[in-house]
Amino acid sequence: MTAGDAVSEPNGRNNREFSVQDLNRWLADHAQGVAPITTVTKFAGGQSNPTYRVDTEGATAYVLRRKPFGELLPSAHAIEREYRLIDALHPTGFPVPRPLALCEDNKVIGAAFYLMEMVEGRTFWDGTLPEIACSDRRPLYEAMIDALAVLHSTDHVAIGLEDFAAPGNYFARQVGRWTKQYRAAQTDDIPEVERLIEWLPRSLPAQGRTSIIHGDYRIDNLIYASDSPRIAAVLDWELATIGDPLADFAYLAMNWIMPCDGRSGLLGVDCENGGLPTLDDAVARYCTVTDREGLPDLHWYFAYNLFRLVGIVQGIKRRVEAGNASSDRADAAVAGLMPLAKAAWSEARKAGATE
């Protein structure tokens, strides 16, 4: 949409709009050096927080992320936390876009939002990397694992994030949080989820290390340099917090147990002949770069992360029913709710849960 137009959701579900003119007026006062906006284009995806490319008269492009319009679940869509985190990480040299301005006033465009630089590069949506030569695939995965290790070694206290999360056992906090999120968005009675809600708090692992964790670390949330396996930017920090880094790595490791459906899942893929690391390879590299002798059994961590995904997808389902979903892919995500719940309980059974 051009300056002077109102930007609206393209999927027809959400007829709310925001004014580019109002956005320009706010940016003129709060984002020094940003030229007036000429066009705004919504990116595909972004089921949680709608995200837009913003082009300006100065030929510089930026990215705007905002909360969805309408009624939101408690503590969801926390772009203020996201902005604070990338603002703290950027000066360290960790690859995040440079943050420019945060607006918490809903009256400007109808929802809180922030503006950041646009990082150019390559995004890979399919974890099998079909567009990449077989010999060049493994370095992309190694760079992904190495960047996660750098994040987990960053001193969050030194960069001002000491109070970024509540104290105590990370998994206890998270299981409690996602149980509340699930209950707040619940539309169906799913027996497997009820069993998980009862079992997870009784089987919490001890927390060894504490670090910044991304919360949604996978290949399609990364931008790679155009001419090398270097990661130019890590995106989508909405779920970031301070906690046990094993939760983050286990979430990445789930790629190897998730269906190969054109996204990040690699289940059933012949990794060795396809130029990709196996799960054992990924674990070994992460342990090497984080100075660990090994990892505990990952089935509990898989069950937890799948339970968390159930909570996220249940929230999407609630927004679909309310007409407030922000992506055309929302229906496909909602269709995966029951398979995720069953997979989570299957991993729980492998970790020792009983009926």
pLDDT of amino acid 325: 63
| Residues whose CB falls within 8 Å of the CB of residue 98, separated by 6 or more in sequence, listed in order | 90, 116, 117
Would you say residue 271 lies in a domain? yes
Residues 142, 277: one domain? yes
Q: What CATH number is given to the structural domain containing 38?
A: 3.30.200.20
Would you say residue 241 lies in a domain? yes
Cα torsion angle, 234, 238, 244, 250, sign: negative
pLDDT-based confidence at residue 12 (cuts at 50, 70, 90): very low
Asked if residue 100 lies in contact with residue 116, where contact means CB atoms within 8 angstroms, the answer is yes
Would you say residue 27 lies in a domain? yes
Q: Is the pLDDT of residue 248 over 80?
A: yes
Residues 98, 224: one domain? no
Mean pLDDT to the nearest integer, 328-347? 86
Residues 71, 203: one domain? no
Would you say residue 161 lies in a domain? yes
pLDDT of amino acid 187: 87
Mean pLDDT to the nearest integer, 324-342? 78
Would you say residue 321 lies in a domain? yes
Q: Is the pLDDT of residue 16 over 60?
A: no
Asked if residue 324 lies in contact with residue 68, where contact means CB atoms within 8 angstroms, the answer is yes
Rounded to whole angstroms, how far apart are CA atoms 239 and 58?
Answer: 33
Residues 92, 185: one domain? no
Q: How many CB atoms lie within 10 A of CB 229?
A: 18
Amino acid at 114: Y
pLDDT of amino acid 9: 46
Least confident of 57-61, 173-177, 192-196, 302-306: 57-61
pLDDT mean across residues, the chain: 89
Task: Output the six-digit token pair for 149.
Answer: 């290790």
pLDDT of amino acid 328: 61
Residues 68, 150: one domain? no
pLDDT digits (tens, 9 = 90+) for 283-302: 999 999 999 999 999 999 99
Least confident of 35-39, 47-51, 91-95, 269-273: 47-51
Q: What CATH number is given to the structural domain containing 161?
A: 3.90.1200.10
pLDDT digits (tens, 9 = 90+) for 38-79: 889 888 765 578 899 999 998 889 999 998 876 665 556 689
Would you say residue 127 lies in a domain? no
Q: In total, how many domains does the chain have? A: 2
Residues 104, 170: one domain? no
Asked if residue 46 lies in contact with residue 151, where contact means CB atoms within 8 angstroms, the answer is no
pLDDT of amino acid 10: 42
pLDDT-based confidence at residue 32 (cuts at 50, 70, 90): confident
Cα pseudo-dihedral 86, 88, 92, 94, rounded to 10: -20
Query: What are the C-alpha distances in Å from 331 to residues 67, 72, 272, 325, 335?
Result: 19, 18, 34, 9, 6
Residues 76, 167: one domain? no
Q: Is the pLDDT of residue 216 over 60?
A: yes
pLDDT of amino acid 14: 41
Residues 38, 156: one domain? no
Q: Is the pLDDT of residue 6 over 70?
A: no
The residue among 223, 241, 113 whose CA lies nearest residue 174 is 241
Q: Is the pLDDT of residue 150 over 70?
A: yes
pLDDT-based confidence at residue 15 (cuts at 50, 70, 90): very low
| Residues whose CB falls within 8 Å of the CB of residue 259, separated by 6 or more in sequence, listed in order | 265, 267, 268
Rounded to whole angstroms, how far apart are CA atoms 100 and 81?
Answer: 14
Mean pLDDT to the nearest integer, 341-348? 96
Residues 159, 45: one domain? no
pLDDT of amino acid 332: 74
Provide the domain limits for residue 150: 134-350
Scanning the chain, the segments in alpha helix (DSSP H) are 20-30, 79-89, 106-109, 134-153, 170-185, 191-199, 245-253, 279-289, 299-321, 330-335, 337-350
Residues 112, 169: one domain? no
Amino acid at 188: D
Asked if residue 19 lies in contact with residue 2, where contact means CB atoms within 8 angstroms, the answer is no
Asked if residue 296 lies in contact with residue 287, where contact means CB atoms within 8 angstroms, the answer is no
pLDDT digits (tens, 9 = 90+) for 230-245: 999 999 998 899 999 9
3-state secondary structure of 94: coil
Mean pLDDT to the nearest integer, 114-123? 96
pLDDT of amino acid 69: 77
Task: Output the six-digit token pair for 343.
Answer: 């997979």
Mean pLDDT to the nearest integer, 11-17? 45
pLDDT of amino acid 208: 86
Residues 172, 255: one domain? yes
Amino acid at 287: C
